[in-house]
A and B are shown apart, each in its own frame.
Chain A
Amino acid sequence: MGCCYSSESETTEQDVNERKPLIDPNQDRKPTNGMERNTDSLPSNRTDEQALLTVILQRTAQNIIDVSAVDSQGMEQHEYMDRARQYSTKLEVLSRTLSQKKPVPLPSLTSQPHQVLAADLVPFTDVQQVSKIAAYAYSAISQIKVDAKEELVVQFAIP
């Protein structure tokens, strides 16, 4: 939701601590994809390119939150309570600092809606007048046409 998403854009020291994965990524664990197996089979003399690739790989592996992790470390009750308390205090701090955005008020047509609603209806003569105006305007517009004054395509006289 909103709070969780905003923490991604601003990685402060506090947030890094929060986003630390529960499971130590350096541990040997059965990978869900073949990525980690491939890094083990690389030759021992790595080129710069391979080192770069490995760095990218490690960074991705650290950032991925694997919800289908096979051997998730179980947490003890007191540790769980401690963490829950930690998270809730951090959330309180964040929610206090988040600014409340006021919605822009819509423009209003009148300050006295009752008066306008209770007033007389638009007279039918007005409606008829407007449809007459519209019809005349339509016929006037259909009279707009291009007035050809001179030739559009001319021949150049090349001596």
Chain B
Amino acid sequence: EGALEQYLDDTMKNPSIVGVLCTDAQGHNLGCRGSLSDEHGGVVSVLARQAASLTKDPTDSPTVCLESDCGNILVRTHGTITVAVHKMAS
């Protein structure tokens, strides 16, 4: 899993990104950094799954954006994994 860990570290090097999280379809945490941690895995995966049921097109994966005054959290599913990125507004 070295490749994944390395990639998560590289992602965090971006100054506006303060958190990143990868989960599988059941909410099991595959890797996280920064402001996003284990307990967010379940919520993130469920949000992405519910958003995906909004569209009938199975290839169209929606990006869920949670906007707040302390940054945005963008959640996207790709294949079997869901990735959430907590990014500060620049």
Chain A residues packing against B (C-beta within 8 Å):
109-112, 115-117, 119-120, 122, 126-127, 129-131, 133-138, 140-141, 143-144
Is the CB–CB distance between B22 and A141 below 8 Å?
yes
Is the CB–CB distance between B69 and A137 below 8 Å?
no
Main SS of the interface on chain B? Answer: strand
Is the CB–CB distance between B4 and A144 below 8 Å?
yes
The verdict on B39 contacting chain A, using a C-beta distance below 8 Å, is: no
Once A and B bind, how many residue pairs between them come within 8 Å at the CB atom? Answer: 74
Main SS of the interface on chain A? Answer: helix
Is the CB–CB distance between A137 and B83 below 8 Å?
yes
The verdict on B68 contacting chain A, using a C-beta distance below 8 Å, is: yes
Residue of A nearest to B80 (CB): A138
Question: Per a CB cutoff under 8 Å, which of B3, B11, B68, B80 touches A110?
Answer: B68
Is the CB–CB distance between A133 and B63 below 8 Å?
no
Is the CB–CB distance between A122 and B85 below 8 Å?
no
Tell me which of B20, B66, B78 has the highest count of chain A C-beta atoms within 10 A of its own C-beta. B78
Q: What's the least CB distance linking B24 to chain A, in Å?
A: 9
Residue of B nearest to A112 (CB): B69
Q: Which of B25-69 contact A (CB under 8 A)?
A: 30-31, 61, 63, 65-69
